[in-house]
Homo-oligomer: A and B are copies of this chain.
Amino acid sequence: MPERIAVIGSGWEATLSQKLDDKKFEVIVISPEAKTPYTPLLAAAATGMFNLSLAEEPIRHKSKNIRFMQAKVEDIDFQKKSIHCTPAFKELEKRPFDLEYDRVIITPGTTNQTFGTKGVEEHALFLRTVKDAYAVRSRIEDIVEQASLPHITDDERRDMLRVIVVGGGPIGVEVSAELSDLVRGDLAQLYPGFKDKFTIEVHDVADQILPMFEKSLAGYAQKSFVRKDVKIHTSSHITEVQPGKLFTKERGEIGFGMLIWATGNKQVSLVDTLKVSKSEKLPRILTNDRLQVLDTNGEPMKGVYALGDAADVKGGELPTTAEVACQKAEYLSNAINTGLDKPFEYSSKAMIAYTGSADGVAAGQKEWSGASAWMAWRAKNLDWSRSWRNRILIGVNWGLNHVFGKETFRN
């Protein structure tokens, strides 16, 4: 019997499961989601740049011998080497099951951080999965049609056409940039009367957007945004969200047609449940530099690994980025496949954000802004996509968008 490796989760780090040697090990992935979303493509997909299913990749592959179970992991019994799961289907939620393992890799990712703000879960949209992107796209279609109805007043119309993005990190900035491109491109042609009625606002509690970039680059992004009529509200404190309106400490009530909440990460319930060493602030599972989970005494647990946004290396803390997750996945699959015993080392790579109309900022090994950063962003996005089928279709879509307009708002 080959050794059984259970991988919990299907985010960026799920590429790990694809890289484990399926002839040497029995690989089982357990996750509530059957597909891995390509987070950097979600903003573009949500605004109609291309087919939504190009922004995700199924875990099952014809060419890989991987078992998959669509379920939520509730707990792990490290003594019995057993994982307690609930099927991710309403019809089967009362039919839990247990799965035994020889080794387990814990990568459940994170969930939406709402800071307990009242009304966010009910009235805001998020941008973490392709389902979220689909909801954003539908909502854009709805607000422009609602605002087109003949008996809507001009004040109501302005509120309906106000999009508020909470969170000035890469996702918030990119979705605002894509929306700005859409508003001034295809939407301006299809709904000519809306030109001066559309507003996009980015709100962040911090005093600058893109805090992970150098001050100068973040400043460039902010300036290029203002030029494009995306209003930036830094040091803005959201106190409550109601249907169609939000409240801030600084400006009181603001009406909106769509609210996208992109403020950051919160630990999933499994991280709370597990009795292991955890970091403070955003609680993350602590590992040693071999990505082995540390027990409550700080001792590494044999055959138990953790990576992705839900984990961090003790004494070598790294941010919750896709790049870190991918490098750890590469390291761990290699270490497990070959038995190599060498610590994980992170090599810093460029971090890129799109700020609209073929413009962008890039930080890391080199620092760019402007069109060259945009080119890098496009290339990077194609690079994220794992399958050639998707790369070809994304390329064809970009070409057709230039000729015919975006998928949703075309002709």
Question: Which residues of A pack against B, CB within 8 Å?
Answer: 34, 51, 53, 57-58, 60-63, 67-71, 87, 89, 91-92, 95, 97, 99, 141-142, 145-146, 148-151, 186, 189-190, 243-244, 387-389, 392-393, 396-397, 400, 403-405, 407-411
Contact = CB atoms under 8 A, between A and B. Distances in A.
A404 B393 CA distance: 12
B411 A400 contact: no
Contacts of A403: 389
A141 B33 CA distance: 11
21 contacts: A51-B51, A58-B408, A60-B190, A61-B411, A62-B189, A62-B190, A68-B148, A69-B149, A70-B145, A70-B148, A87-B149, A89-B142, A91-B243, A97-B149, A97-B150, A99-B150, A387-B410, A389-B403, A389-B410, A392-B400, A396-B396
B151 A97 contact: yes
Q: Taking each of A186, A397, A404, A409, which has the highest tally of chain B beta carbons within 10 Å of its own beta carbon? A: A404
Given A34-B141, A51-B51, A146-B89, A58 B410 contact: yes
A229 to B, nearest CB: 22
A91 B145 contact: no
A407 B54 CA distance: 9
A30 to B, nearest CB: 10
Given A51-B51, A95-B151, 19 more contacts: A34-B145, A62-B189, A62-B405, A62-B410, A63-B411, A67-B148, A68-B145, A69-B150, A89-B145, A91-B146, A91-B243, A97-B151, A99-B150, A387-B411, A389-B403, A389-B410, A389-B411, A392-B400, A393-B396
A389 B409 contact: no
In order of increasing CB-CB distance, the 4 nearest A-B pairs are A389-B404, A61-B411, A97-B151, A70-B145
Contacts of A61: 411
